[in-house]
Structure 1
Amino acid sequence: MNASQKIALVTGATRGIGRETVRQLAEAGVHVLLAGRNRDRAVAAALELQALGLPVEAIALDVTDEAAIAAAVQEVERRHGRLDILVNNAGVLLDEIGKPVSAQSLDTWRRTFDTNLFGLIAVTQAFLPLLHRSPAGRIVNVSSLLGSLTLHSDPSSPIYDFKLPAYNVSKSAVNAWTVQLAWELRDSRIKVNTLHPGYVKTDMNAGEGEIVVADGARTSVSLALTGEDGPQGGFFHFDQVLPW
Protein backbone atom coordinates (compact mmCIF):
# COMPACT_ATOMS: atom_id res chain seq x y z
CA MET A 1 0.00 0.00 0.00
CA ASN A 2 1.20 3.50 -0.87
CA ALA A 3 2.06 5.41 2.33
CA SER A 4 0.21 8.46 0.99
CA GLN A 5 -2.95 6.45 0.23
CA LYS A 6 -5.93 7.47 2.33
CA ILE A 7 -7.28 4.95 4.86
CA ALA A 8 -11.05 4.76 5.37
CA LEU A 9 -13.30 2.68 7.60
CA VAL A 10 -16.99 2.18 6.82
CA THR A 11 -19.27 0.64 9.47
CA GLY A 12 -22.24 -1.56 8.58
CA ALA A 13 -20.59 -2.25 5.24
CA THR A 14 -21.39 -5.87 4.41
CA ARG A 15 -24.36 -4.89 2.24
CA GLY A 16 -26.45 -2.02 0.88
CA ILE A 17 -25.29 1.58 1.06
CA GLY A 18 -22.32 0.73 3.27
CA ARG A 19 -20.89 -1.80 0.87
CA GLU A 20 -21.43 0.52 -2.08
CA THR A 21 -19.69 3.31 -0.18
CA VAL A 22 -16.72 0.99 0.27
CA ARG A 23 -16.70 0.20 -3.45
CA GLN A 24 -16.85 3.82 -4.56
CA LEU A 25 -14.17 4.95 -2.13
CA ALA A 26 -11.92 2.10 -3.22
CA GLU A 27 -12.49 2.97 -6.87
CA ALA A 28 -11.35 6.50 -5.97
CA GLY A 29 -8.06 5.04 -4.75
CA VAL A 30 -8.78 4.91 -1.03
CA HIS A 31 -7.70 1.85 0.98
CA VAL A 32 -10.96 0.86 2.67
CA LEU A 33 -11.64 -1.19 5.77
CA LEU A 34 -15.00 -2.90 5.27
CA ALA A 35 -16.46 -3.28 8.77
CA GLY A 36 -19.27 -5.60 9.80
CA ARG A 37 -20.62 -7.21 12.96
CA ASN A 38 -20.04 -10.66 11.51
CA ARG A 39 -16.39 -11.19 10.53
CA ASP A 40 -17.20 -13.98 8.05
CA ARG A 41 -19.65 -11.76 6.17
CA ALA A 42 -17.18 -8.88 6.20
CA VAL A 43 -14.45 -11.14 4.82
CA ALA A 44 -16.75 -12.50 2.11
CA ALA A 45 -17.78 -9.00 1.03
CA ALA A 46 -14.17 -7.78 1.04
CA LEU A 47 -13.00 -10.75 -1.03
CA GLU A 48 -15.61 -10.02 -3.69
CA LEU A 49 -14.38 -6.44 -3.98
CA GLN A 50 -10.73 -7.54 -3.90
CA ALA A 51 -11.53 -9.81 -6.84
CA LEU A 52 -12.38 -6.64 -8.78
CA GLY A 53 -8.90 -5.34 -8.02
CA LEU A 54 -10.06 -2.91 -5.34
CA PRO A 55 -8.01 -2.06 -2.21
CA VAL A 56 -10.43 -3.39 0.41
CA GLU A 57 -9.85 -5.37 3.59
CA ALA A 58 -12.27 -6.73 6.18
CA ILE A 59 -12.51 -5.82 9.84
CA ALA A 60 -14.92 -7.04 12.51
CA LEU A 61 -16.75 -4.22 14.26
CA ASP A 62 -20.01 -4.35 16.20
CA VAL A 63 -20.83 -0.72 17.03
CA THR A 64 -22.81 -1.79 20.11
CA ASP A 65 -19.93 -3.77 21.61
CA GLU A 66 -17.33 -1.73 23.52
CA ALA A 67 -14.74 -4.51 23.44
CA ALA A 68 -15.21 -5.02 19.68
CA ILE A 69 -14.73 -1.29 19.06
CA ALA A 70 -11.54 -1.24 21.13
CA ALA A 71 -10.21 -4.29 19.29
CA ALA A 72 -10.96 -2.65 15.93
CA VAL A 73 -9.12 0.52 16.93
CA GLN A 74 -6.08 -1.53 17.97
CA GLU A 75 -6.19 -3.43 14.68
CA VAL A 76 -6.35 -0.26 12.59
CA GLU A 77 -3.54 1.33 14.59
CA ARG A 78 -1.39 -1.78 14.19
CA ARG A 79 -2.04 -2.11 10.45
CA HIS A 80 -2.04 1.55 9.43
CA GLY A 81 -1.14 3.87 12.31
CA ARG A 82 -3.86 6.37 11.47
CA LEU A 83 -7.34 6.77 10.00
CA ASP A 84 -8.22 9.39 7.39
CA ILE A 85 -11.93 8.74 6.87
CA LEU A 86 -14.61 7.34 9.17
CA VAL A 87 -18.03 6.69 7.64
CA ASN A 88 -20.58 5.93 10.37
CA ASN A 89 -23.01 4.01 8.19
CA ALA A 90 -24.28 1.26 10.52
CA GLY A 91 -27.95 1.66 11.42
CA VAL A 92 -31.17 -0.15 12.19
CA LEU A 93 -34.88 0.51 11.67
CA LEU A 94 -36.89 -1.41 14.28
CA ASP A 95 -40.15 0.56 14.58
CA GLU A 96 -43.33 -1.44 14.06
CA ILE A 97 -44.95 -0.02 10.95
CA GLY A 98 -48.47 1.24 11.61
CA LYS A 99 -48.10 1.32 15.38
CA PRO A 100 -48.80 4.75 16.95
CA VAL A 101 -45.89 6.93 18.00
CA SER A 102 -46.71 6.54 21.69
CA ALA A 103 -47.12 2.76 21.40
CA GLN A 104 -43.65 1.85 20.13
CA SER A 105 -42.00 -0.25 22.82
CA LEU A 106 -39.27 1.13 25.05
CA ASP A 107 -37.15 -1.82 23.95
CA THR A 108 -37.45 -0.61 20.34
CA TRP A 109 -36.29 2.84 21.40
CA ARG A 110 -33.34 1.48 23.36
CA ARG A 111 -32.13 -0.92 20.67
CA THR A 112 -32.50 1.74 17.98
CA PHE A 113 -30.51 4.31 19.93
CA ASP A 114 -27.88 1.73 20.92
CA THR A 115 -26.94 1.32 17.26
CA ASN A 116 -27.95 4.55 15.54
CA LEU A 117 -26.70 7.02 18.14
CA PHE A 118 -24.72 5.53 21.02
CA GLY A 119 -22.86 3.12 18.74
CA LEU A 120 -22.02 5.94 16.34
CA ILE A 121 -20.74 8.13 19.18
CA ALA A 122 -18.74 5.27 20.71
CA VAL A 123 -17.04 4.44 17.41
CA THR A 124 -16.26 8.10 16.75
CA GLN A 125 -14.81 8.66 20.21
CA ALA A 126 -12.66 5.54 19.92
CA PHE A 127 -11.25 6.38 16.48
CA LEU A 128 -10.83 10.12 17.02
CA PRO A 129 -7.17 9.83 18.17
CA LEU A 130 -6.31 8.01 14.92
CA LEU A 131 -8.23 10.61 12.90
CA HIS A 132 -6.21 13.37 14.55
CA ARG A 133 -3.09 11.69 13.10
CA SER A 134 -4.45 12.26 9.60
CA PRO A 135 -3.42 15.36 7.65
CA ALA A 136 -7.08 15.80 6.68
CA GLY A 137 -9.48 13.65 8.71
CA ARG A 138 -13.09 13.24 7.66
CA ILE A 139 -16.06 11.96 9.69
CA VAL A 140 -19.25 11.20 7.77
CA ASN A 141 -22.42 10.42 9.73
CA VAL A 142 -25.18 8.75 7.73
CA SER A 143 -28.45 10.23 8.93
CA SER A 144 -31.79 10.63 7.14
CA LEU A 145 -34.19 13.30 5.95
CA LEU A 146 -36.48 11.69 8.54
CA GLY A 147 -34.28 13.27 11.20
CA SER A 148 -35.27 16.79 10.12
CA LEU A 149 -37.30 18.50 12.85
CA THR A 150 -38.12 21.33 10.47
CA LEU A 151 -39.74 19.03 7.91
CA HIS A 152 -41.53 16.91 10.51
CA SER A 153 -43.12 20.11 11.84
CA ASP A 154 -44.30 21.28 8.42
CA PRO A 155 -47.67 19.82 7.27
CA SER A 156 -46.71 20.57 3.66
CA SER A 157 -43.46 18.58 3.77
CA PRO A 158 -43.18 15.15 2.10
CA ILE A 159 -42.24 13.44 5.39
CA TYR A 160 -44.85 15.07 7.66
CA ASP A 161 -46.93 11.87 7.91
CA PHE A 162 -43.95 9.51 7.86
CA LYS A 163 -43.57 8.82 11.56
CA LEU A 164 -41.14 6.06 12.55
CA PRO A 165 -40.45 7.64 15.93
CA ALA A 166 -37.50 5.71 17.31
CA TYR A 167 -35.67 5.76 13.99
CA ASN A 168 -36.55 9.38 13.22
CA VAL A 169 -35.56 10.71 16.63
CA SER A 170 -32.31 8.72 16.62
CA LYS A 171 -31.39 10.43 13.35
CA SER A 172 -32.34 13.84 14.76
CA ALA A 173 -29.92 13.05 17.59
CA VAL A 174 -27.20 12.07 15.09
CA ASN A 175 -27.63 15.47 13.45
CA ALA A 176 -27.39 17.21 16.82
CA TRP A 177 -24.26 15.23 17.73
CA THR A 178 -22.69 16.22 14.41
CA VAL A 179 -23.23 19.91 15.17
CA GLN A 180 -21.71 19.54 18.64
CA LEU A 181 -18.68 17.61 17.37
CA ALA A 182 -18.13 20.03 14.49
CA TRP A 183 -17.88 22.84 17.03
CA GLU A 184 -15.20 20.92 18.95
CA LEU A 185 -13.26 20.21 15.76
CA ARG A 186 -13.71 23.67 14.21
CA ASP A 187 -10.03 24.58 14.52
CA SER A 188 -8.70 21.11 13.67
CA ARG A 189 -7.92 19.39 10.37
CA ILE A 190 -10.94 17.11 10.82
CA LYS A 191 -14.25 17.84 9.14
CA VAL A 192 -17.49 16.20 10.29
CA ASN A 193 -20.80 16.29 8.41
CA THR A 194 -24.06 14.39 8.29
CA LEU A 195 -26.20 13.39 5.34
CA HIS A 196 -29.39 11.99 3.90
CA PRO A 197 -28.49 9.25 1.38
CA GLY A 198 -31.91 9.43 -0.27
CA TYR A 199 -34.84 7.03 -0.26
CA VAL A 200 -32.71 4.11 -1.42
CA LYS A 201 -33.78 0.63 -2.50
CA THR A 202 -32.20 -1.51 0.24
CA ASP A 203 -33.00 -4.48 2.46
CA MET A 204 -33.91 -2.05 5.27
CA ASN A 205 -37.02 -0.94 3.37
CA ALA A 206 -37.64 -4.28 1.62
CA GLY A 207 -36.37 -2.95 -1.69
CA GLU A 208 -38.73 0.00 -1.81
CA GLY A 209 -37.27 3.39 -2.58
CA GLU A 210 -36.74 5.96 -5.27
CA ILE A 211 -33.02 5.70 -6.06
CA VAL A 212 -30.55 2.88 -6.58
CA VAL A 213 -27.84 1.99 -4.05
CA ALA A 214 -25.08 3.49 -6.21
CA ASP A 215 -26.72 6.91 -5.95
CA GLY A 216 -27.45 6.37 -2.26
CA ALA A 217 -23.71 6.15 -1.54
CA ARG A 218 -22.76 9.24 -3.51
CA THR A 219 -23.23 11.81 -0.73
CA SER A 220 -21.23 9.75 1.76
CA VAL A 221 -18.36 9.42 -0.72
CA SER A 222 -18.45 13.11 -1.64
CA LEU A 223 -18.22 14.21 2.00
CA ALA A 224 -15.53 11.62 2.74
CA LEU A 225 -13.38 13.04 -0.05
CA THR A 226 -14.16 16.72 0.47
CA GLY A 227 -11.20 19.07 0.34
CA GLU A 228 -9.83 21.63 2.74
CA ASP A 229 -12.46 24.13 1.60
CA GLY A 230 -15.27 21.62 2.19
CA PRO A 231 -18.13 22.04 4.64
CA GLN A 232 -18.01 21.58 8.39
CA GLY A 233 -21.02 20.63 10.51
CA GLY A 234 -23.57 20.52 7.69
CA PHE A 235 -26.50 18.28 6.70
CA PHE A 236 -26.54 17.34 3.02
CA HIS A 237 -28.17 15.34 0.26
CA PHE A 238 -25.93 15.43 -2.80
CA ASP A 239 -25.12 19.17 -3.07
CA GLN A 240 -28.29 20.29 -1.32
CA VAL A 241 -28.14 21.69 2.21
CA LEU A 242 -30.99 20.18 4.24
CA PRO A 243 -32.94 21.81 7.08
CA TRP A 244 -32.25 20.59 10.61
Structure 2
Amino acid sequence: MNISFEGQTVIVTGAAQGFGRAIALAFAREGAQVYACDVLQQGLQETAALSEAAGTPLHVRLTDITDRAAVNALVAEAAQQTGRIDVLVNNAGGVLGQVGRPLEEVSASDWQSIFSVNVEGAFSFAQACAPHMKRQKSGRIINISSGAGLGVSLTGIQAYASAKAAQIGLTRQLAHELGEWGITVNNVAPGFVRSNPTTERQWQSYGEEGQQRLVNGIALKRLGSPDDIAGAVLFFASAQAGWITGQVLSVDGGK
Protein backbone atom coordinates (compact mmCIF):
# COMPACT_ATOMS: atom_id res chain seq x y z
CA MET A 1 0.00 0.00 0.00
CA ASN A 2 1.55 3.29 -1.13
CA ILE A 3 0.46 6.06 1.25
CA SER A 4 1.57 9.61 0.46
CA PHE A 5 0.47 12.99 1.76
CA GLU A 6 2.32 15.20 -0.71
CA GLY A 7 0.64 18.59 -0.96
CA GLN A 8 -1.54 18.02 2.12
CA THR A 9 -1.70 20.12 5.28
CA VAL A 10 -1.83 18.19 8.54
CA ILE A 11 -2.37 19.47 12.09
CA VAL A 12 -1.25 17.24 14.98
CA THR A 13 -1.93 18.17 18.60
CA GLY A 14 0.10 16.94 21.56
CA ALA A 15 3.18 16.54 19.36
CA ALA A 16 5.90 17.17 21.94
CA GLN A 17 6.29 13.49 22.84
CA GLY A 18 4.85 10.01 22.52
CA PHE A 19 2.07 9.33 20.04
CA GLY A 20 1.84 12.90 18.82
CA ARG A 21 5.53 13.09 18.00
CA ALA A 22 5.46 9.77 16.16
CA ILE A 23 2.37 10.84 14.21
CA ALA A 24 3.79 14.23 13.25
CA LEU A 25 7.10 12.73 12.12
CA ALA A 26 5.32 10.03 10.11
CA PHE A 27 3.21 12.56 8.20
CA ALA A 28 6.27 14.72 7.54
CA ARG A 29 8.13 11.70 6.15
CA GLU A 30 5.25 11.11 3.76
CA GLY A 31 5.45 14.63 2.36
CA ALA A 32 2.81 16.53 4.34
CA GLN A 33 3.09 20.10 5.55
CA VAL A 34 2.76 19.39 9.26
CA TYR A 35 1.76 21.88 11.95
CA ALA A 36 2.63 20.23 15.26
CA CYS A 37 1.44 21.85 18.48
CA ASP A 38 1.71 21.33 22.22
CA VAL A 39 2.16 23.25 25.48
CA LEU A 40 5.58 21.64 26.10
CA GLN A 41 8.07 23.89 24.34
CA GLN A 42 11.19 21.79 24.89
CA GLY A 43 9.49 18.65 23.63
CA LEU A 44 8.22 20.50 20.57
CA GLN A 45 11.72 21.68 19.76
CA GLU A 46 12.96 18.10 20.07
CA THR A 47 10.23 16.96 17.65
CA ALA A 48 11.28 19.70 15.23
CA ALA A 49 14.95 18.72 15.53
CA LEU A 50 14.19 15.06 14.83
CA SER A 51 12.18 15.98 11.75
CA GLU A 52 14.87 18.36 10.54
CA ALA A 53 17.55 15.70 10.96
CA ALA A 54 15.46 13.33 8.85
CA GLY A 55 15.25 15.91 6.07
CA THR A 56 11.50 16.39 6.53
CA PRO A 57 11.07 19.67 8.46
CA LEU A 58 7.76 20.57 10.06
CA HIS A 59 6.22 23.59 11.77
CA VAL A 60 5.90 23.63 15.56
CA ARG A 61 3.63 25.96 17.47
CA LEU A 62 3.22 26.43 21.22
CA THR A 63 -0.55 26.11 21.61
CA ASP A 64 -2.91 25.48 24.52
CA ILE A 65 -5.75 23.44 23.03
CA THR A 66 -8.11 24.59 25.80
CA ASP A 67 -7.73 28.19 24.53
CA ARG A 68 -10.18 28.54 21.64
CA ALA A 69 -8.59 31.75 20.39
CA ALA A 70 -5.21 30.01 20.17
CA VAL A 71 -6.78 27.03 18.39
CA ASN A 72 -8.49 29.27 15.85
CA ALA A 73 -5.27 31.21 15.29
CA LEU A 74 -3.25 28.08 14.55
CA VAL A 75 -5.80 26.70 12.10
CA ALA A 76 -6.10 30.08 10.38
CA GLU A 77 -2.31 30.32 10.06
CA ALA A 78 -1.98 26.85 8.57
CA ALA A 79 -4.81 27.49 6.11
CA GLN A 80 -3.44 30.88 5.10
CA GLN A 81 0.08 29.58 4.52
CA THR A 82 -0.87 26.43 2.61
CA GLY A 83 -4.32 27.17 1.25
CA ARG A 84 -5.98 24.12 2.81
CA ILE A 85 -6.49 21.85 5.84
CA ASP A 86 -6.54 18.16 4.93
CA VAL A 87 -5.97 16.21 8.13
CA LEU A 88 -6.57 16.96 11.81
CA VAL A 89 -5.21 14.58 14.44
CA ASN A 90 -6.58 15.29 17.91
CA ASN A 91 -3.96 13.52 19.98
CA ALA A 92 -3.45 15.91 22.91
CA GLY A 93 -4.94 14.66 26.14
CA GLY A 94 -3.98 12.53 29.10
CA VAL A 95 -4.54 12.54 32.83
CA LEU A 96 -2.69 15.81 33.61
CA GLY A 97 -0.69 14.23 36.40
CA GLN A 98 -3.75 12.96 38.25
CA VAL A 99 -3.88 9.55 39.91
CA GLY A 100 -6.72 7.24 40.78
CA ARG A 101 -8.68 8.29 43.87
CA PRO A 102 -12.01 7.37 45.43
CA LEU A 103 -14.95 9.07 43.75
CA GLU A 104 -15.71 11.30 46.74
CA GLU A 105 -12.17 12.75 46.67
CA VAL A 106 -12.29 14.02 43.07
CA SER A 107 -12.72 17.79 42.87
CA ALA A 108 -14.84 19.56 40.27
CA SER A 109 -11.75 21.28 38.86
CA ASP A 110 -9.86 18.00 38.49
CA TRP A 111 -12.83 16.43 36.69
CA GLN A 112 -13.27 19.44 34.40
CA SER A 113 -9.60 19.85 33.52
CA ILE A 114 -9.41 16.33 32.07
CA PHE A 115 -12.58 16.92 30.04
CA SER A 116 -11.23 20.25 28.81
CA VAL A 117 -8.08 18.80 27.31
CA ASN A 118 -9.44 15.46 26.10
CA VAL A 119 -12.87 16.45 24.77
CA GLU A 120 -13.23 20.21 24.45
CA GLY A 121 -9.83 20.59 22.79
CA ALA A 122 -10.78 18.02 20.15
CA PHE A 123 -14.13 19.75 19.62
CA SER A 124 -12.52 23.18 19.24
CA PHE A 125 -10.01 21.99 16.65
CA ALA A 126 -12.67 20.11 14.69
CA GLN A 127 -14.89 23.20 14.76
CA ALA A 128 -12.06 25.40 13.48
CA CYS A 129 -11.01 22.97 10.71
CA ALA A 130 -14.50 22.04 9.48
CA PRO A 131 -15.14 25.16 7.34
CA HIS A 132 -11.88 24.62 5.43
CA MET A 133 -12.61 20.93 4.89
CA LYS A 134 -16.19 21.67 3.81
CA ARG A 135 -14.94 24.18 1.26
CA GLN A 136 -12.57 21.53 -0.15
CA LYS A 137 -15.28 18.84 0.09
CA SER A 138 -12.69 16.57 1.65
CA GLY A 139 -10.91 16.04 4.94
CA ARG A 140 -9.85 13.60 7.61
CA ILE A 141 -10.30 13.98 11.37
CA ILE A 142 -8.69 11.34 13.54
CA ASN A 143 -9.19 11.41 17.30
CA ILE A 144 -6.88 9.50 19.64
CA SER A 145 -8.85 8.03 22.51
CA SER A 146 -7.82 5.08 24.67
CA GLY A 147 -8.78 1.59 25.67
CA ALA A 148 -10.10 3.36 28.77
CA GLY A 149 -12.81 4.90 26.60
CA LEU A 150 -14.01 1.45 25.59
CA GLY A 151 -13.64 -0.19 28.98
CA VAL A 152 -12.18 1.13 32.20
CA SER A 153 -9.11 3.16 33.15
CA LEU A 154 -6.26 0.95 34.35
CA THR A 155 -5.41 3.66 36.88
CA GLY A 156 -9.00 4.16 38.04
CA ILE A 157 -9.27 7.79 36.91
CA GLN A 158 -13.00 8.34 36.46
CA ALA A 159 -12.71 11.54 34.43
CA TYR A 160 -10.23 10.02 31.99
CA ALA A 161 -12.38 6.97 31.19
CA SER A 162 -15.44 9.21 30.86
CA ALA A 163 -13.69 11.81 28.70
CA LYS A 164 -12.29 9.21 26.30
CA ALA A 165 -15.74 7.61 25.99
CA ALA A 166 -17.16 11.07 25.27
CA GLN A 167 -14.52 11.60 22.60
CA ILE A 168 -15.59 8.38 20.91
CA GLY A 169 -19.19 9.63 20.98
CA LEU A 170 -18.04 12.91 19.42
CA THR A 171 -16.25 10.94 16.70
CA ARG A 172 -19.40 9.08 15.71
CA GLN A 173 -21.58 12.19 15.82
CA LEU A 174 -19.22 14.28 13.67
CA ALA A 175 -18.84 11.42 11.18
CA HIS A 176 -22.57 11.65 10.44
CA GLU A 177 -22.66 15.44 10.44
CA LEU A 178 -19.66 15.97 8.15
CA GLY A 179 -19.91 12.98 5.85
CA GLU A 180 -21.83 14.75 3.09
CA TRP A 181 -18.80 16.99 2.52
CA GLY A 182 -16.47 14.04 2.04
CA ILE A 183 -15.00 14.42 5.53
CA THR A 184 -14.32 11.24 7.48
CA VAL A 185 -14.03 11.17 11.27
CA ASN A 186 -12.47 8.15 12.95
CA ASN A 187 -10.90 7.17 16.23
CA VAL A 188 -7.80 5.22 17.24
CA ALA A 189 -7.95 3.64 20.71
CA PRO A 190 -4.43 2.67 21.81
CA GLY A 191 -3.70 0.04 24.39
CA PHE A 192 -1.00 0.57 26.99
CA VAL A 193 2.20 1.92 25.41
CA ARG A 194 5.26 3.26 27.23
CA SER A 195 5.18 6.50 25.29
CA ASN A 196 5.76 9.37 27.74
CA PRO A 197 6.78 10.10 31.35
CA THR A 198 3.24 9.43 32.63
CA THR A 199 2.96 5.97 31.09
CA GLU A 200 6.53 5.19 32.14
CA ARG A 201 5.67 5.97 35.77
CA GLN A 202 2.57 3.84 35.43
CA TRP A 203 4.62 0.95 34.04
CA GLN A 204 7.15 1.17 36.87
CA SER A 205 4.38 1.26 39.47
CA TYR A 206 3.18 -2.20 38.42
CA GLY A 207 6.40 -3.90 39.48
CA GLU A 208 7.81 -6.94 37.73
CA GLU A 209 4.83 -9.16 38.49
CA GLY A 210 2.27 -6.60 37.36
CA GLN A 211 4.20 -5.84 34.20
CA GLN A 212 4.28 -9.49 33.27
CA ARG A 213 0.58 -9.85 33.99
CA LEU A 214 -0.21 -6.90 31.70
CA VAL A 215 1.90 -8.32 28.86
CA ASN A 216 0.40 -11.79 29.30
CA GLY A 217 -3.05 -10.27 28.82
CA ILE A 218 -2.09 -9.09 25.33
CA ALA A 219 -2.60 -11.56 22.48
CA LEU A 220 0.72 -10.66 20.87
CA LYS A 221 2.52 -10.91 24.25
CA ARG A 222 4.35 -7.60 23.85
CA LEU A 223 3.78 -3.90 24.29
CA GLY A 224 3.32 -1.70 21.27
CA SER A 225 5.15 1.49 20.30
CA PRO A 226 4.13 5.02 19.27
CA ASP A 227 4.88 4.03 15.67
CA ASP A 228 2.15 1.38 15.87
CA ILE A 229 -0.34 4.14 16.68
CA ALA A 230 1.04 6.41 13.96
CA GLY A 231 0.55 3.65 11.39
CA ALA A 232 -3.14 3.38 12.22
CA VAL A 233 -3.56 7.15 12.00
CA LEU A 234 -1.89 7.32 8.59
CA PHE A 235 -4.22 4.61 7.32
CA PHE A 236 -7.33 6.50 8.46
CA ALA A 237 -5.93 9.67 6.85
CA SER A 238 -5.15 7.96 3.55
CA ALA A 239 -7.16 7.69 0.35
CA GLN A 240 -7.48 3.96 1.02
CA ALA A 241 -9.74 4.73 4.01
CA GLY A 242 -12.06 6.98 2.02
CA TRP A 243 -15.20 4.90 2.76
CA ILE A 244 -14.49 4.36 6.45
CA THR A 245 -15.96 6.79 8.97
CA GLY A 246 -17.35 6.82 12.49
CA GLN A 247 -15.16 3.87 13.44
CA VAL A 248 -13.00 3.07 16.45
CA LEU A 249 -9.86 1.02 15.80
CA SER A 250 -8.33 -0.60 18.87
CA VAL A 251 -4.56 -0.73 18.45
CA ASP A 252 -3.69 -2.75 21.53
CA GLY A 253 -1.98 -5.99 20.49
CA GLY A 254 -5.21 -7.93 20.92
CA LYS A 255 -7.38 -8.16 24.01
TM bracket (short chain): 0.7 to 0.9
Counterpart for residue 124 of structure 2: 122
C-alpha separation in 2, matches of 1:82 and 1:37: 24
Work out which of the residue numbers 142, 156, 175 in structure 1 matches 2:168.
175
Mapping for residues 151-162 of structure 1, pairs under 5 Å = 151-152=151-152
Partner of 2:85: 83
Assess if the C-alpha contact under 8 Å between 2:184 and 2:242 holds in 1: no
CA change 1:94–1:104 in 2 (3 A) is: farther
- Runs of 4+ aligned structure 1 residues displaced above 6 Å come to 239-242
Please tell me the residue identity of whatever aligns with 1:216.
I
> Quick one: distance in 2 between partners of 1:190 and 1:58?
25
State the distance in 2 between where 1:41 and 1:240 align: 27
**Aligned-partner Cα distance in 2 for 1:124–1:102:** 33
Which residue does the alignment assign to 1:156?
Answer: none
Question: Aligned pair 1:211/2:204, yes or no?
Answer: no
CA distance in 2, matches of 1:30, 1:197: 23
Structure 1 residue 80: deviation in Å?
1.0
Per the TM alignment, residue 74 of structure 1 is displaced from its structure 2 partner at its CA by 2.1
Choose 205-214 or 121-130, whichever is displaced more: 205-214
TM-fit CA distance, 1:101: 3.2
| Same amino acid, percent of matched pairs | 31
User: How is 1:44-55 mapped onto 2 (pairs within 5 angstroms)?
Assistant: 44-55=46-57
> Which has a greater percent of helix?
2
Q: What is the CA–CA distance in structure 2 between the aligned matches of 1:189 and 1:6, rounded to whole Å?
A: 15
8 A Cα contact 1:93 1:112, kept in partner: yes
Q: Which amino acid aligns with 1:181?
A: L
SS at the partner of 1:187? helix
- In the alignment, structure 1 segments of 5+ residues that lack a partner are 153-158
Q: Pick closer, same or farther for the CA change 1:10–1:50 going to 2, 3 Å.
A: same
Give the superposed CA RMSD: 2.7
What TM-score does the superposition give when structure 1 sets the normalisation length? 0.84
The superposition leaves residues 155-210 of structure 1 with CA deviations (integer Å, 9 ceiling, x where unpaired) of: xxxx7x76321100000100111111111012221100011122111223126382
- Asked if residue 199 in structure 1 is aligned to residue 198 in structure 2, the reply is no
Distance 1:198 1:60 in 2: 27
**Deviations 1:119-177, CA, capped at 9 Å, x for gaps:** 110111012112224453100000111111xx45xxxxxx7x76321100000100111
Match of 1:142 among 144, 151, 155: 144
| 2:60 matches 1:58 | yes
Return the offset for 1:28: 2.0
Alignment partner of 1:235 is 2:248: yes
- For normalisation by structure 2, the TM-score amounts to 0.81
Output the CA distance in 1 between the equivalents of 2:57 and 2:42. Answer: 18
What residue identity is the alignment partner of 1:107? S
